[in-house]
């Protein structure tokens, strides 16, 4: 009975692994390097500021960031804009909220205490947590093995998605689909959005399609993990404390049991 059960379980595991492997082979994710990767990585403030510009000029027409407070653009470890810059940016946005003067909801100029507006105009997904949602996209059973081993996660998926259009199109049920080698299934309803020179940066940073894609991917990673640097610092502190505690426990153990071990030797 036991050998048969073992054989059946082995067949199930092999079949499941093969199925997931087949699903993963349909997509091709580029392993981009980002400054926030690794145990000591941090966000590049300038890259996040460029990513916000890309989001505002290209992505915001279809996608929202409803979980991100506008005021966090001034946070250290993030884009780190000045308070005046954040206020000026908020003035360029309209949000749907309660007008207390008339007691009704309407579109009003945003304040720094508001969140980025939600955008459901074309049914496009909100991007607030996209980088986290796609963090475990790759590897057996979506366990995120490549993210753990190679550092590949949500930002790589987003940047790869923007760079992986082949130019092929087809129509299904009245909808135009575009071939994309990074998207599961190979076809996506979002048309290509990024091309060389689509966004101009004041600091003269590269604005080729790949650089633009990486900038917005880094910004979306920050929207999903705004406290990434603080979390890494806390983790490093915890590891150091545990290491010190382990040494103290070892020395304490030797001191407590030294008389007993000495008596046994006698």
Question: In whole angstroms, how far apart are CA 240 and each of 105, 252, 253?
Answer: 51, 18, 20
Taking CA atoms, 234 is separated from 39, 42, 62, 131, 248, in Å, by 11, 13, 36, 22, 21
Write b or e for each residue in 68-97: b if 16 or more Cβ atoms lie within 10 A of its Cβ, otherwise e. Answer: bebbbbbeebbbebeeeebbebbeebebee
- CA distances to 24, 31, 44, 140, 218 from 143, rounded to whole Å, are 12, 17, 28, 6, 22
Average pLDDT, the chain: 84
Structure confidence at residue 226 (pLDDT): 92
Mean per-residue pLDDT pooled into runs of 10, the chain (266 residues): 42 37 62 88 94 96 94 93 96 86 83 91 88 72 60 87 95 92 92 93 92 97 91 87 94 85 62
Within 8 A by CB and 6+ apart from 25, the residues are none
The kind and range of the H/E element at 166 are strand 165-172
The pLDDT value recorded for residue 137 is: 59
| pTM to 2 decimal places | 0.80
* Cα 23 from Cα 18, distance rounded (Å): 9
The SS3 of residue 195 is coil
Q: Say what percent of the chain tops pLDDT 90.
A: 55
Token pair, residue 57, equals 């000029």
CATH for 30-68+116-164+195-253 is: 1.10.760.10
Nearest to 67 by CA among 226, 230, 228: 226
Where along the chain do its domains lie? 30-68+116-164+195-253
pLDDT at position 264 is 61
């Amino acid at each position: 009975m036991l050998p048969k059960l073992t054989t059946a379980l082995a067949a199930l595991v092999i079949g499941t692994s093969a199925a997931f492997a087949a699903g993963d082979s349909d997509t091709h994710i580029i392993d981009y390097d980002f400054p926030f990767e690794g145990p000591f990585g941090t966000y590049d403030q300038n890259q996040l500021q460029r990513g916000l510009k890309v989001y505002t000029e290209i992505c915001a027409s279809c996608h929202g960031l409803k979980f991100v407070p506008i005021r966090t653009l001034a946070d250290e470890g993030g884009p780190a804009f000045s308070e005046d810059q954040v206020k000026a940016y908020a003035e360029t946005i309209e949000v749907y909220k309660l007008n207390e003067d008339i007691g009704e909801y309407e579109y009003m100029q945003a304040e720094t205490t508001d969140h980025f507006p939600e955008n459901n105009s074309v049914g496009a997904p909100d991007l607030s947590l996209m980088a986290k949602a796609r963090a475990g996209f790759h590897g057996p059973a979506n366990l995120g093995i490549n993210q753990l081993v190679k550092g590949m996660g949500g930002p790589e998926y987003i940047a790869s998605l923007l760079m992986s259009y082949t130019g092929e199109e087809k129509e299904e049920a009245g909808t135009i689909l575009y071939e994309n080698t990074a998207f599961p299934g190979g076809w996506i309803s979002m048309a290509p959005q990024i091309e060389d020179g689509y966004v101009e940066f004041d600091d003269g940073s590269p604005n080729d399609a790949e650089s633009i894609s990486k900038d917005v991917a880094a910004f979306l990673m920050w929207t999903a993990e705004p406290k990434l640097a603080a979390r890494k610092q806390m983790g490093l502190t915890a590891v150091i404390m545990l290491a010190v505690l382990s040494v103290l426990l070892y020395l304490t153990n030797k001191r407590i049991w030294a008389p007993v071990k000495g008596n046994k030797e006698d």
